[in-house]
Homo-oligomer: A and B are copies of this chain.
Amino acid sequence: MTTEQNATRRGRLPMHLEISEMLAREIKAGVILDGEKLEPERVMAKRLGIAVGTLRKALAQLHENGLLERVQGSGNYVRNTGTDNTIYGYFRLELLTGGGLPSATIVSVDAITDTDTVRFSEQGDYYRIRRLRHLNGTGAALEEIWLDAAYVTTPITPQHLSDSLYQFYKSELGIWISRVEDSISADQPPDWRPADFCPAAKPCWGYVERTGWDQHGRQMEFSKTWFDTDTTRYLARWK
C-alpha cells in the first residue's frame, strides 16, 4: 500500500469508476478520436498514479460499454463509431487551456419568415435560436442557429436546445448531419450580446459560420458563432 487508497476518498466513487467515466467522457466528447490507441497500461497507470489492476478494471468497464477494443499484445483502441456527434472530434470550440465541458443557455427562440440573413429554406420559414455557450461554466461564445422550419415537426423544447441539436434531429426526426463546412474569420460581437457576458473581452472576436447538410444533401442548418479569443479557440484536427 502506498498512498491514500480509501482514506481521503470518502463519499467519492471508486477509483476505477472515476477513471472509466473520465475516459468515457473524453471519448464521447471527441477529445480522443476513434481508432486512437491509448498508452500502454503500465505507463498510463503510472501517469494517473494508480495501480495497473485498478486501471484495468476501468478499461474493462469501457470495453463492456463498447467504447474500447482491447487487443492482447497490441494495445487498447478507442471505438467511437456509434455516436452521431463525431464532428466534434474534428472541429470544435475549446478553452485555451484545452478541453472544457460544453453547456448552453438560451437567449431567444423566434420564428422568422422573411429575412435576407439566410436563404436556404424552400418555404422561407426559419427558427432562429440564440444561445450563450459556456465551457466549464465560463462564458465562451455567442451562437445564432438558423433552422429550416419545414424540418421541425415536433415542437422544440428548451431541453432539446440545451443539449445537442444533432442528437435531437437524429432521434426525433430521423435526419442527421452528413457534411459540415465551417468558415472562420474575425468580427465584432453582435449587438444582442449581454453586457455581463465576457465583460473583459476584446472588441475583436473569432467568428464562425457553419453550414450543415443532411444525409440527402439538403442544407438543414446555418449558424453563426462569435467566440471570445481571450478564453476560447477554434480547434481543427486531422488524423
Asked whether A184 and B233 contact (CB < 8 A) given A12-B37, A179-B238, the answer is yes
Whether A239 pairs with B10 at a CB distance below 8 angstroms is no
Within 8 A of B (CB), among A1-49: 10-14, 35, 37-40, 43
User: Of the 9-residue stretches A86-94, A112-120, A128-136, which lies at the interface with chain B?
Assistant: A86-94
A159 within 8 A of partner (CB): no
A229 within 8 A of partner (CB): yes
Within 8 A of B (CB), among A79-103: 86-87, 89-91
Whether A206 pairs with B186 at a CB distance below 8 angstroms is yes
Asked whether A38 and B14 contact (CB < 8 A) given A89-B90, A182-B236, A206-B184, the answer is no
Complex: A130 Cα to B41 Cα, angstroms: 42
A183 within 8 A of partner (CB): yes
Q: A-side interface residues toward B, CB under 8 Å? A: 10-14, 35, 37-40, 43, 74-75, 86-87, 89-91, 178-187, 202, 204-206, 229, 233-239
Whether B183 pairs with A186 at a CB distance below 8 angstroms is no
Whether B184 pairs with A184 at a CB distance below 8 angstroms is yes
Whether A238 pairs with B90 at a CB distance below 8 angstroms is yes
Complex: A37 Cα to B239 Cα, angstroms: 23
Give the number of copies in the complex.
2
Asked whether A178 and B239 contact (CB < 8 A) given A10-B43, A229-B185, the answer is yes
- Report the 9 A-B pairs with minimum CB-CB distance, sorted nearest first: A204-B204, A186-B186, A184-B234, A182-B236, A180-B238, A185-B229, A186-B229, A236-B236, A11-B39
Contact of A86 among B14, B38, B87, B186 (CB under 8 A): B87
Whether B183 pairs with A74 at a CB distance below 8 angstroms is no
Minimal Cβ-Cβ distance residue in B for A232: B185
Contact of A10 among B40, B87, B186 (CB under 8 A): B40
Whether A235 pairs with B89 at a CB distance below 8 angstroms is no
Chain B residues with CB under 8 A of A75: 14
Contact of A181 among B40, B43, B235 (CB under 8 A): B235
Chain B residues with CB under 8 A of A40: 10
Chain B residues with CB under 8 A of A10: 39-40, 43
Minimal Cβ-Cβ distance residue in B for A88: B238
Whether A238 pairs with B205 at a CB distance below 8 angstroms is no
